A and B are shown apart, each in its own frame.
Chain A
Amino acid sequence: MTTLDATLDHPRGGSAAALLRHATALARRSLIKTARTPEALLDVTLQPVIFLLLFTYLFGGAISGGDRAGYLQFLLPGMLAQSLAMGGIALGQNLNADIEKGVFDRFRSLPVARSAPLVGAVAADIVRYLTVCVVMLGFGMLIGFRVQTGFVPALAAVGLSVAFGLCFCWISVWVGMLVRTPGAVQGLMFLLVFPLSFGSNVFVQTSTLPGWLQWFVHVNPITPLVSTIRGLLIGGPVASHLVVTLAWMAGLLLVFVPLALRGYARRA
């Protein structure tokens, strides 16, 4: 019994390997669900496309004084960032629904790290953020967007976008642990994401804004992300914006991962 106990109590390959293995298995679960319900991808496919069309053709002319093509170059990197921030909302909703349905009770009664179900779900979201990038760039090019830097910077922009999505979505995960219904997750997250994505440099040059709003734009984590992606896609300074963006990403993880884990543990 003691030898059996010893093998029972120690996961194969140590606890880090176990977390990786369990999170991978749980990420696969999320991906199977996504593949079964492709309509769950509308918010990272059709929705960004509609926004892009809306802002390019409806408002673009007015905002840019007639230079639609130039405005698209300015707008698309920003809309990519906005879509990433919005793309994370569904994750919190899904986790909230899973918890209400009792699916997570089963995971919690199994000998996996407390963080595994959340880490697995977040990891599976990589696919959604990659989809956002592909759809935005692909459709953007169709209507006239041109990458003015090169393949490698563009690839770096995609990599940074996905990484930022993975950090930002922990806010949504945390909210998903706190509130009672998936609808409430969406409501709260919209309240956060709307001011962040519109109160930024996504749609207009910051210099056109009143002073107090400029201040908000400068402390908004979306702003350095947009500036970095812009630099990587259409040229301009990158390094200084990238540093600030990375700092924000680290900050988001440091604050919201522990908050989400604590929320998950408390959710009985």
Chain B
Amino acid sequence: MTDLVVRAEGLRKRFGKTQALDGVDLTMRRGTVLAVLGPNGAGKTTAVRVLATLLRPDAGSAFVAGIDVLKEPQRVRRRIGLTGQYASVDEDLTGTQNLVLIGQLLDLRTSDARRRAAELLEWFDLAEAAGRMAKTYSGGMRRRLDLAASLVGHPEVIFLDEPTTGLDPAKREDMWGVVRNQVTQGASVLLTTQYLEEADALADEIVVIDKGRVIAHDSPDGLKRRVGGLTLRVRPAEESRVPDVLRILDAVAAPGTSSSPDTAAGARPGAVSVPVTGDTALDIAVPALRRAGIEVTDLALHLPSLDEVFHSLTEGVPAKELV
């Protein structure tokens, strides 16, 4: 048995004039989380749809759970769970009916399907809404029902296409908990996201794709090293204190870097940012700012945004050094 639950090589798919996938290679080790990171239109959904047997690629090969996706899609379908980017719950059915239907299509006996549905609804905090039509659910509730639907059959490989888009921060963390829980139970999870933060929080490995091509495949740490890691951003209440803040933050700057006025795209002037190596920077910076009597209105650690990730990966230089 191979250690790779997802193995795709040279996937290509064209829609009219758009080359959605332009030779994508992907691998995911059993029992891990792989995050596919990319901006709008990068080809994330297309890649997931190919792997989940919904779409035939023009070229390339893909194996999921060791089975050829193109030759034996039915066998693959018995081993995967898919939550697509757009909620695919049936609005006119209740939460329970949605999940029981899927259980029946997975050949569970109706009593088992009911039991599994109740268990999942409980787990996703939907027990109270179980008997209501899904069209009365909020966006977040639909999303959770959709996720529950992909877990009915205890899949070995789970595909989640932007599972947290549209969720509030608390529900997003809940979703992360669900993903981690699935992995402890032995599943492997491939998820797509537009946030490095999310990929960093969940994934063992990150694949960055852009315009249908893989531009990086690395561990979160490796990727962060390449794109410049954490940034500490501080906004003093009075803009006149910016020079003092610059001086204080220089003391916590990562080796070979220095603080600078924050010039990130769209940022309001008057903030200072500095690349740091870890959150211990806060232990030094916060007391120092206090001692200097500088009042701050904003102080936060940031991972590079997707923009910055792309900028540095495509330019080959950490974004910070370009400023």
Chain A contacts to B: CB under 8 angstroms: 1, 8-9, 11-12, 18, 21-22, 25-26, 28-29, 32-33, 36-37, 101-112, 116, 268
Contacts and interface: CB of A to CB of B under 8 A. Distances in A.
Interface string B76-95: 01111110101111111100
Contact of B87 (A26, A37, A102): A102
Given A1-B1, A9-B78, A110-B106, A33 B93 contact: yes
Contact of A32 (B88, B89, B92): B92
A101 B90 CA distance: 9
Interface string B92-119: 1100010001101111000000000000
Contacts of A12: 107
Interface stretch (B47-55, B122-130, B180-188, B215-223): B47-55
Given A29-B93, A110-B106, A105 B101 contact: no
Contact of A268 (B54, B80, B84): B54
B149 A106 contact: yes
A32 B92 CA distance: 8
B162 to A, nearest CB: 13
Given A32-B93, A106-B82, A109-B82, A18 B107 contact: yes
A234 to B, nearest CB: 40
Given A106-B84, A111-B77, 18 more contacts: A12-B107, A26-B105, A29-B97, A29-B101, A33-B93, A37-B92, A101-B86, A102-B84, A102-B87, A102-B88, A105-B82, A106-B88, A108-B54, A109-B54, A109-B82, A110-B77, A111-B105, A116-B105
A105 B90 contact: no
Contact of B105 (A101, A103, A107): A107
Given A106-B149, A109-B52, A110-B77, A36 B104 contact: no
9 contacts: A8-B78, A9-B75, A12-B107, A21-B107, A22-B105, A32-B97, A102-B87, A107-B105, A110-B102
Contacts of A116: 105
Nearest to A98: B90
A106 B75 CA distance: 16
A29 B133 contact: no
A37 B74 CA distance: 34
Nearest to A36: B92
Contact of B78 (A1, A36, A111): A111
Interface in B56-84: 74-75, 77-82, 84
A11 B49 CA distance: 24
Contacts of A112: 105
A26 B80 CA distance: 20
Contacts of B55: 268
B108 to A, nearest CB: 9
A108 to B, nearest CB: 6
Contacts of B89: 103
Contacts of B54: 105, 108-109, 268
Contacts of A101: 86, 88, 91
B251 to A, nearest CB: 52
